[in-house]
Amino acid sequence: MVERYALEPLKSLWTLKAQYERWLEVELAVVEAYEEFGIAPKGTAQKIRERAQIDVDDILRTEAVVDHDVIAFVKSVTKNMGDEARFFHYGLTSSDVVDTATSLALKSATEEILCSCKSLANVLYEKAIRYKDLPTIGRTHGVHAEPTSFGLKFLSWYAELLRDIERLERAKEEISVGKLSGAVGNYANIDPKIERRALEKLGLKPTPVATQVIPRDYIAHLLSVFALIAGLIERIAIEIRHLQRTEVLEAMEPFKEGQRGSSAMPHKKNPILCERLTGMARLMRSYAQVAFENMALWHERDISHSSAERYILPDATMTIYYMLEKTRYLIESLKVFEEKVRNNLDLTKGLIYSQRILLALVDKGMSREEAYTLVQSIALECWESGESFRERVMQNEKVKTLLTREELETLFEPSYYLRNVDAIYERFKHDPKSENQKGN
């Protein structure tokens, strides 16, 4: 965990205390189920709940002796429990408690992350609407291509985020499983009914077939969806870093009152948040990699995944949550310099309209090859000389035989390029909270 990137409520989720509390919650759910099915006497769960005390230091001291975290937990918690202690952890193996509790933590974390995704989606949609009619230069390969809508940038992220939300919903559904099936997962000492009832109380379902542990594909799947979300955020961050370049300066990430860009250069406003997010995306990919490697455990389980998960589960959930929260803030507070956006559109003096000229010539009957050669030759000359492509085209004899001045003038209007943008927006319903909005 990196303190400065640990936001609540995710941070509290991963304290040792919170972990022990989840373990206790699982143990209690099992006792309650035993009670319901008449295996434990009425009132057992209530008494245990009253007497069970989590003393983090005591548990750790015990663990230092027994070298086993769950045994230490059980020993410490049942210390003053009296007779009812017999039903505490009864029929369970350590992983029943640990893995079910991990699912609880991941489910909670994923719910927060989903919430944050949806807030971000709302903000992206708002900006998409706001900048729908602002023409901007579309850039491919970093080179000016053709005009497009500034809003489409946001809409494209929004559409990708909707896919991610859908993926994450499923991954959350998947991860909402527990297992209370004993040492090798065959219910030797616990009835499947107890598992089902106890998990139900916890908001989980049984994993269909467990070994000693819940298979690790669930976690690997979840972390690979996080990596996808991180990839989108990286895409957003890199776009804004580009837009904030001194030469481009079409947008700028928020700069706080009192903030200083550099210890040396007072004029600098740097996209440090976007850069931070970019670096974090690398981490998120690496967590997925570790989770993939964690899948192939030996026989009915080995515990190699455990040390790795102690790092990556808290770090992956906290980091993606931080990324989402900061991205929402970033988009919300993003400064867009509309005038600069418009100015940049004219930077190439009309060259970006070359494709339109080309197609207009083809429409008038010129072969595609000939039109391409003609337009490219004018374009390349202007590119070298700095002359205005617009003017050179208007004066070209071949062009003039096919196109009138009026026709030519309309060919250099950016609005033309945005005429079908509405059709793209119509693919999305008006309530951005509803996710099933893919092209219909």
Catalytic residues: 141, 262
Residue 396 contacts a copy of itself per CB under 8 A: no
Helix (H) or strand (E) holding 146: strand 143-149
Q: What is the DSSP letter of 84?
A: G
Task: Give long-range contacts, CB 8 A cutoff, 24+ apart: 392-397.
Answer: 393/350, 393/357
Q: How far is the CB of 179 from a copy of itself (least distance, A)?
A: 10
Report the site for a copy of itself in 290-349 (rule: CB under 8 A): 290, 292-312, 315, 319, 344, 347-348
- Of 11, 47, 51, 276, the residue at the interface with a copy of itself (CB under 8 A) is 276
CA–CA separation, 310 and 315 (whole Å): 9
Token representation of residue 115: 């919430």
Q: Cβ closer to a copy of itself: 170 or 400?
A: 170
Q: Does 232 bind a copy of itself (CB under 8 A)?
A: yes
> Considering the rule CB under 8 A, would residue 238 count as an interface residue with a copy of itself?
yes
Task: Select the span of 20-28, 115-123, 149-157, 327-335 touching a copy of itself (CB under 8 A).
Answer: 149-157
Contact 39, 203 (CB under 8 A): no
221 binds a copy of itself (CB under 8 A): yes
Q: End-to-end distance of the chain based on CA atoms, in angstroms?
A: 43
CA–CA dist 323, 378 (Å, integer) = 46
For a copy of itself, which residue of 47, 51, 205, 342 counts as binding (CB under 8 A)? 205
Q: Are 280 and 319 in contact (CB under 8 A)?
A: yes
Looking from the CA of 319 toward its CB, the CA atoms found within 13 Å total: 27
Does residue 245 touch a copy of itself according to CB under 8 A? yes
Task: For helices 44-51 and 16-36, give the axis angle rounded to 10 degrees.
Answer: 160
The stretch among 26-34, 114-122, 260-268, 398-406 that binds a copy of itself (CB under 8 A) is: 260-268
Among 45, 106, 116, 206, binds a copy of itself (CB under 8 A): 206
224 part of the interface to a copy of itself, by CB under 8 A: yes
According to CB under 8 A, which one of 20, 59, 418, 432 is a site residue for a copy of itself? 418
DSSP 89: T
Interface residue with a copy of itself among 186, 333, 336, 345 (CB under 8 A) is: 186
| Structure tokens belonging to residue 186 | 């065959």
Structure tokens at 228: 């996808």
Residue 407 touching a copy of itself (CB under 8 A): no
Give SS3 for 79: coil
- 132 contributes a contact to a copy of itself by CB under 8 A: no
> Which three-class secondary structure state does DSSP give residue 138?
strand
> Interface residues for a copy of itself in 41-80 (CB under 8 A)?
65-68, 70-71, 74-75
Contact flag: residue 231 with a copy of itself (CB under 8 A): yes
* Run of H or E including 279: helix 272-293
**Single residue of 6, 18, 129, 248 touching a copy of itself by CB under 8 A:** 248
Name the residue nearer to a copy of itself (CB basis): 91 or 432: 91
Number of residues lying near a copy of itself (CB under 8 A): 177
Task: Work out the number of other CB atoms within 10 angstroms of the CB of residue 405.
Answer: 8
Q: How far is the CB of 411 from a copy of itself (least distance, A)?
A: 12
Shortest Å, Cβ 153 to a copy of itself: 8
**DSSP 3-state of 375:** helix
Partners of 315 in the β-ladder: none
Of the listed pieces 40-48, 118-126, 360-368, 399-407, which binds a copy of itself according to CB under 8 A? 360-368
By CB under 8 A, tell whether 429 contacts a copy of itself. Answer: no
**What are 143's strand-pairing partners?**
140
Packing angle of the helix pair 69-77, 56-66 (nearest 10 deg): 130
Q: Which residue in the set 358, 399, 403, 411 belongs to the binding site for a copy of itself (CB under 8 A)?
A: 358
Query: Residue 114 or residue 232: which is nearer to a copy of itself going by CB?
Result: 232
**Choice from 77, 109, 165, 283 touching a copy of itself (CB under 8 A):** 283
